[in-house]
Copies of this chain bind each other. A is one copy, B any other.
């Protein structure tokens, strides 16, 4: 039973918190948000939900980040959402400053915590928080893309989702890598099973584009990513050692960047197992690392500007 702290209780934050606490993995949860009364009333809702399930988690609600103490896991989803007229760089700057603040306050009371970043742009925020806090940090990475890949193929081929396997990694969004050599249906290669029904292009388009479509209709994604986040937390807390595509720190040249790679999620987190990928798939990761490093270096410059 773990002590888990949640920094931020917005739309995605709430869904992650609900999903995680309902798994019964937390003996104690601390919920922080700057909005007055929000953590307190959300605590009420959670107490009602946990009572229904017979789960005895102690919940602390606070508007002060100083109340987060002795956590085993700290999950950060706080930050400013991207406004219509903002560039990606603007969002980076806004949220990077918030992370630099958290990097000052959170580590001293949570020396042994695993830090998990959810705030966007998620890989860069993980790197900024780790750079300024000195604490081991991961982000949710491409795990939700794995579920999108598997569920789309299952839906289109009319097979149970459990019989579809496959991993993604690298960057988020347009730059995402699908490791095609790992994509199997009942153990058989994707291309063999899908011939004439579903192409690699169909799958790629769905996996890269579905988030935007959901956001367009529903205002944001929440149920899908939150459930993947719950899996990451549970696999860590119970030492289940599930292989997931989370974003792990990678020393690259003079910086630590974060890039999604298949990783054994136990306690402790690791190792990454990209060496088990095909050479072609490993090549995709290497290309991503160089690209992500360069982008991150550019973004870092804006912080000192």
Contact flags (1/0) for A193-230 with B, using CB distance below 8 Å?
A: 00000000000000000100110111001111111101
Could you tell me if B56 and A160 are in contact, using CB atoms closer than 8 angstroms? Answer: yes
Interface centre among A38, A51, A148 (most CB of B within 10 A): A51
Q: Write out the residue numbers on chain B whose beta carbons fall within 8 Å of the beta carbon of A237.
A: 54, 162
Q: Write out the residue numbers on chain B whose beta carbons fall within 8 Å of the beta carbon of A184.
A: 267-268
Q: Does A242 contact B (CB under 8 A)?
A: yes
Contact flags (1/0) for A31-73 with B, using CB distance below 8 Å?
A: 0000101101110111111111111100000000000000000
Residue from B41, B47, B148, B164 in contact with A161 in the complex, judged by beta carbons closer than 8 Å: B47
Could you tell me if B222 and A45 are in contact, using CB atoms closer than 8 angstroms? Answer: yes
Least distance between A152 CB and chain B CB atoms (Å)? 8
Report copies per complex.
4
Could you tell me if A223 and B46 are in contact, using CB atoms closer than 8 angstroms? Answer: yes
Instruction: Give the size category of A's interface with B.
Output: 35 or more
A123-131, A269-277, A297-305 - interface stretch: A269-277
SS class, residues of chain A in contact with chain B? helix
Other A-B pairs beyond A38-B218, A48-B223, 12, CB < 8 Å: A2-B162, A19-B22, A41-B216, A44-B213, A44-B224, A45-B222, A52-B227, A54-B162, A54-B239, A165-B239, A241-B243, A275-B276
The contact sample of 12 A-B pairs, CB cut-off 8 A, is: A40-B217, A45-B218, A51-B154, A52-B147, A162-B237, A165-B267, A241-B242, A242-B242, A243-B243, A243-B266, A273-B273, A276-B276
